[in-house]
Amino acid sequence: MSQQPEQEPRPESGADSSPPDRLGPRPLRQPPVDPASAAVFGRPSGVDGAFARSSSMNGSHPQMRSAPPPADALVDAFSRPPELGDVLLQRPPVDQQPDGQPESPLWSRGGDPWRDPGAGAMIGPPAVGAPAEEAESKPKLGRGYQLSVPELLFGRRVKPTALIVLAVVVLVIAAAGGGVGWWIAQAGNDLTSDVSLVPVDQNASPDRSADSIAGVAKRVAPAVVSIEFRNDQTGGVGSGAVIDGQGYIITNNHVVESVAKDPTMKMTAVFQDGSRADAKIVGRDPKTDLAVIKVTVNNPTVLQFGNSDQLAVGDPVVAVGSPLGLSNTFTQGIVSALHRPRLLPGNGGDPPVAYDAIQTDAAINHGNSGGPLVDIHGALVGINSFIVAPSEDGGSIGLGFAIPANDARVIAESLIKTGQVKHAEIGVNAVTDVSAGSSQGARAANVADNGAAAKAGIKEGDVIIKVGNRIVRNSAELTVAVRANRIGDTVPVVLVRDGREMTINVVLQSD
């Protein structure tokens, strides 16, 4: 084993001790100077230091301009004291010291060596830990006594019974304080009291008879479907009603119009129980905004047609459909008005839409289109088709319109049988609304050649004020009044020409 170097024993406190040995300064090495270099870089003749004496500067360089002599006051204040003589800042070389000895050091041998820049490296003891004897001599601490919970809390031993009594006292005080606080809170609030509300009568049941709204909803819901159509880019939703056991569903033309014009569209009918069935278009009638589609299902619930001609203003009605995609939505209202002619522009080049509408205040929104309007007995009395809203994307404000069921039934039968519908036509292609004297009417602006009106003698400029028993006040009423008759019927038409009223019989033709 290698032996550790012996450490220098430490001096005891109070004993005289000499500082550790020090290394002396490194000897000054002065290499010989080249005479040529000394001639170039040496001091001028007569200058033995880094700065020439002041006397040597006077007159030695006549071209050099010196500063004027300082003032006497400055000389007295900042000049060297006379007793120091003419001494330069540079310390004389060692060989010029008296007896060849260096100056006395600024630091003594017994001073702090770290403050002496000329001191050499100090040799001291190695930086090692305490001897093993000293480490072994220190006593080792064992595991002390651990305090119990009573000692930790109270600083001394406490009997368990005392702790139990103390806990009981604390609980009693807390309960008393809580009771007092509750009593104060109750006494200070006049709005609360100790009451017992009347219990709910478990035996009471709401009126869900067959003629109630709940009864109507229960019977009608299975016959109402949501019509979904979609392709990779777009889609939409509408409503419809099953009107035949073979799966025929009546709806609006504008619900299925995009499917008819886009072969990539897929149409699906969704029933109340969530079952789905692919739907195909049977036929469309753009002039009345009606269409019939068909699905393949077994034993569907069929909605029965009612007589819309027997409706009266104020009769309760229920609108059913999928507004904004919310299927099986029922809204209740009344019949607000009857025989409200609606004339709407067609979509995508289709002819104008005209029908004699039922007005209702039952909430109808986007998605209700094609859904049924039923009476209090659950019979179909109209097909929801149009609303008046503050904006194009607005909702219901209580102005909804439905196609009468009597008209819808005739058109649906024709679409199911032939796939198309023919309407009675008078042969006036364009009309404008005017006032003829004290009455209103529809002015014939363009009478078609070989049409029913032209053959009967109606001329351009005539103001039609009545068709059959139907008063005509505008172009919409003229259209619905003519379509209320059948093709080939002879209808008396009352008109005003040059301020004179006359009646002309017109044989209606097919459109």
Task: Give the mean pLDDT of 381-385.
Answer: 95
Which residue is catalytic, options 226, 239, 254, 285?
A: 254
pLDDT at 104 over 90: no
pLDDT band at 308 (very low <50, low <70, confident <90, very high): very high
DSSP string across 255-301: HHHHHHH-TT-EEEEE-TTS-EEEEEEEEEETTTTEEEEEE--SS--
pLDDT over 50 at 204, yes or no: yes
Which of the following is catalytic: 226, 258, 285, 289? Answer: 289
Q: What is the structure's pLDDT at 6?
A: 46
In the structure, what pLDDT confidence band is assigned to residue 78 with cuts at 50, 70 and 90? Answer: confident
Q: Which fold has domain 213-418?
A: Thrombin, subunit H (2.40.10)
Separation CA 155–CA 196 (nearest Å): 54
Does residue 371 surpass a pLDDT of 60? yes
Per the model's pLDDT, the better-predicted residue between 129 and 247 turns out to be 247
Is the distance from CB of 443 to CB of 431 less than 8 angstroms? yes
Quick one: what percent of the chain has pLDDT higher than 90? Answer: 38
Whole-structure pTM value: 0.62
Output the six-digit token pair for 393.
């994307």
Residue ranges of the chain assigned to CATH 2.30.42.10: 424-510
What is the DSSP code string of 50-113?
A: SS--HHHHTTT-TTSPPPPPPPHHHHHHHSPPGGG-S--SSPPPGGGSGGGPPPPPSS-TTS-G
pLDDT band at 443 (very low <50, low <70, confident <90, very high): confident
Q: Pick the catalytic residue: 258, 369, 414, 475?
A: 369
Residues facing 443 on adjacent strands:
432, 463
Instruction: Average the pLDDT over 147-165 and give the result.
Output: 71
Domain 424-510 has CATH 2.170.120.40: no
- Active-site residue flag, 289: yes
pLDDT band at residue 491 under the 50/70/90 scheme: very high
Q: Where in the chain is the domain with CATH 2.40.10.120?
A: 213-418
- Average the pLDDT over 278-290 and give the result: 94
For 189-193, 236-240, 310-314, which range has the lowest pLDDT when averaged over its residues?
A: 189-193
> What pLDDT, on a 0 to 100 scale, did the predictor assign at position 3?
46
